[in-house]
Amino acid sequence: MMSMASDGRSGSAAAERAPRSAWEKEPFCHRQLQTLAHWIFTAYHDIRVHGAEHVPASGPVIIASNHPTYLDGAFLMVGLHRSVRFMAWEKPFRLPLLGALMRSYGSIPVDMKKPGRGSFEAAVKVLRGGAAFGIFPEGGRTKGLAPMNPFKSGVARLAMITGAPIVPATIVGGRRVWRKGDLLPKPGPITVCFHPPIRVDSSQRLRWRRDKTLEKEIVTDLIETIHRKLLPALRKEERVDRLLAGPPQPPAAAIEGIPLYFLFLSYLMLPFDSWVHHARPAAYWVAGYAAALSVELFLEARGLWVKWLRNLLPWIVLLGMAFQRMNAGHAPIRAASGAALAVFVVWMQIFRFPAYRRLRTPLLIAGYGGWLVDLLRSVP
């Protein structure tokens, strides 16, 4: 088995002696594009990067990752402080703007149906030029329900020929946010994990010329390393899918009942005439909310949209109640604050659901509590 030591010398003597070339230069606007991608992916996917310190700051290195989405190259570069040249599907190169951008980054086009020797030689040239090279050994996006497609041995041959270390990378969450057949990715968390490098020394490279089974050992090490992070995440996704496909869970009274509790509190704390005048529109919103929950239970609806609906409905009700107060001319600043809170939490529900799940109950209490305080202050 190949070792994953972090103290060995990276790269072969030939790679270290290779002259500096244009491959090592940063592509045009690399920093600006990387910053823009980081903002977009942080907002849309809450992307988290771990282990970026395992990628050398300079010198040749191969970054080998699983390939669940079309955005994996961008996901990998978000957390790195150096540019990476990727071997990419040749069709996007035909598009005017995207093709020009990919060429400016030094990406290498490859025909998936007829991968030629020219692409492999170009990758060797990139590494001997001292640059970072990204490759997806699956040879395409992950198919079906398998964790990954079978790995091709080209990544091992690159390491043996150039002496460059291989940094395994695991992209977690990609299969859920961009399933096969979807036109665009959905919001959802993405985690990128870089692992300690797999290195090959000069003796292994000499033995490789006689014993090609070393390629299989490298590929096996690579798969096992990526699986350590990927398989537990996939099992968790499968449990969530089974839960969503199972019988619908009844509403939790402690959470789904919050709008009703605060409406009832307003009824107890206000004179009846004042309550009818000021809080009756809110009662219509809460009644509609209760009716929607009843219909959902009666139909035994299930799936991801049911979870989203249950989480969004209390905030939609609060938003409607806040706008009703604004239209009535009561404390517009406080009403606008309530509306802003509702909009913010809707954004959290869509783009930051794990954090939202932990904060949902206290935020709902704060939102409806603000509505109740505003209601009491507006009554003479």
Of 332, 333, 330, 342, which is closest to residue 366 (Cα–Cα)? Answer: 342
> Looking at residue 15, what is its pLDDT?
39
Q: What is the pTM of this model?
A: 0.70
Q: 78-102 pLDDT, tens per residue?
A: 878 888 888 776 666 676 666 666 6
- In the predicted structure, residue 115 carries a pLDDT above the cut 70: no
> Looking at residue 193, what is its pLDDT?
95
Q: Which CATH number fits domain 13-245: 3.30.465.10, 3.40.50.300, 3.40.640.10, 3.40.1130.10?
A: 3.40.1130.10
What does DSSP say about strands 191-194 and 166-172: parallel, antiparallel, or unpaired? antiparallel
Q: 203-239 pLDDT, tens per residue?
A: 888 778 777 788 889 999 999 999 999 999 888 888 7
Confidence of residue 304 (pLDDT cuts 50, 70, 90): low
The domains of the chain are located at 13-245, 253-378
Q: 150-194 pLDDT, tens per residue?
A: 998 889 999 999 999 999 999 998 888 887 777 778 888 899 999
Percent of the chain with pLDDT over 70: 76
- In the predicted structure, residue 332 carries a pLDDT above the cut 70: no
